[in-house]
């Protein structure tokens, strides 16, 4: 591995999945203006996530299906005579 290419300023931060409010503590170098009080009583920077392992379809087994057939039919009807 190359030397001196990885950041050295890792710190503990709380990651929060905004879709289901699941939070976990980990290390990161990402900047954050938000702070949250964690279970141990300490305050940590808060990193907001759109998706995590608790809400991702691959891990949960649930998948949101999009009505692509309706969209295709609508497109075909619109541009059929042009």
What percent of the chain has pLDDT above 70?
Answer: 80
Distance, C-alpha 60 to centroid of its chain:
14
Cα separation, 11 vs 6, in Å, equals 14
Q: First vs last Cα of the chain: how many Å apart?
A: 58
> What tokens appear for 17 in the block?
């999945």
More confident of the two residues 63 and 16: 16
How do the domains of the chain map onto residue ranges?
11-79
**pLDDT tens for each residue of 38-63:** 999 999 999 998 888 777 665 556 65
Q: What is the mean pLDDT of residues 29-44?
A: 95
**What whole-number distance in Å separates Cα of residue 37 and Cα of residue 39?**
7
Q: Look at the chain and count its residues.
A: 82
How much is the pLDDT for 68?
57
- Mean per-residue pLDDT of the chain: 82
**Whether the predicted model's global pTM rises above the 0.75 cut:** no
């Amino acid at each position: 591995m190359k030397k001196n290419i990885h950041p050295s300023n890792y710190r503990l931060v709380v990651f929060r999945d905004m879709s289901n409010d699941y939070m976990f503590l980990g290390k990161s170098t990402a900047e954050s203006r938000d702070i949250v009080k964690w279970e141990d009583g300490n305050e940590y920077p808060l990193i907001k996530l759109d998706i995590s392992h608790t809400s991702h379809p691959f891990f949960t087994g649930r998948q949101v299906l999009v009505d692509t057939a309706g969209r295709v039919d609508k497109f075909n009807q619109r541009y059929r005579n042009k």
